[in-house]
Amino acid sequence: MVTYNKILRTIDEKGAAFFVLIDPDRLEEKEYLELAEYCQNDGADAVLVGSSILINNTFSKMIKDLKRVLEIPVIIFPGSPMQISPDADAVLFISLISGRNPNHLFGDHVIAAPVIKSAGIEPISTGYMLIESGHTSAVEFMSNTKPIPADKPEIAKAHALAAEYMGMKLIYLEAGSGAERAVPDIFISEIRKFVSLPIMVGGGIKNPETAKRKVDSGASIVVVGSLFEKLGGNNLIKEFSEAIHYK
Ligand code: 1GP
């Protein structure tokens, strides 16, 4: 629980945490090392690494490289049980609770659990919900599940409470990488009133103002990925950190 406790401490001390997602397929070594340097120096609290699908064989090398230059945790955000590396600090042990695909509820987990144990990395049980965001996301397509409709926060609330009762440690509200519309604020505020777990929000967050609105609505962790792939980390990481860390 070292990394999970570190996350809880960050949320406690800074109000909310800021995670940067790096997709192994989308950045060259020079680019991800440069982005990592901004993450380390400009206030990101952790780096997530993962993708719905891997085209190139760069995952393990990227984790190793990132661990070499980062003091903040490197956490795997796996798109499949193949995305495990002993060099990471932790892995989000994800159940895709908004869907009814048994493999993503309790199937891939059985395959991944022994691999995670022998890799010696920390699993963080995460209730992951896909929220409808304007177009078919890679997660929706790859997982063969339907997202929760964007006008039905009460459905998400019930899912979040069930995840808490099942002993999960985090709720992740996902609009999908590069989403047209981020997760609506009402989803976050309604779930915040209903469960005590940290709420992580990502997908389609394209500016610090939006990130701040998610935090004001009750998000404990904000995840941003594709924006930095396009624009780099220069200035932007700092602006997001300042918007998200309100304490
Ligand atoms: C995707 O929530 C993450 O899984 C981040 O999304 O790439 O749109 O920032 P973006």
Contact 201, 185 (CB under 8 A): no
Looking at the chain, the number of H-run helices and the number of E-run strands are 11, 8
CA atoms within 13 A on the CB side of 91: 27
For residue 99, report the phi and psi dihedrals to the nearest 5 degrees.
-105, 175
**Arithmetic mean of pLDDT over the chain:** 96
Best residue for ligand 1 mutational test, from 75, 94, 205, 229 (most atoms within 8 Å of Cβ): 205
Top-level CATH class of 2-244? alpha beta
Pairing of strands 46-49, 199-202: unpaired
Average pLDDT over residues 57-86: 96
**What single-letter amino acid sits at 240?**
F
Domain boundaries, the chain: 2-244
Contact 211, 242 (CB under 8 A): no
State in Å: Cα 109 to ligand 1 middle.
22
Q: In the prediction, which pLDDT does 55 show?
A: 86
**Tens digit of each residue's pLDDT (9 = 90 or more) over 205-216:** 999 999 999 999
**Tens digit of each residue's pLDDT (9 = 90 or more) over 9-62:** 999 999 999 999 999 999 999 999 999 999 999 999 999 999 988 888 899 999
Contact 45, 237 (CB under 8 A): no
**Tens digit of each residue's pLDDT (9 = 90 or more) over 105-153:** 999 999 999 999 999 999 999 999 999 999 999 999 999 999 999 999 9
Average pLDDT over residues 95-113: 98
88 lines ligand 1 (CB under 6 A): no
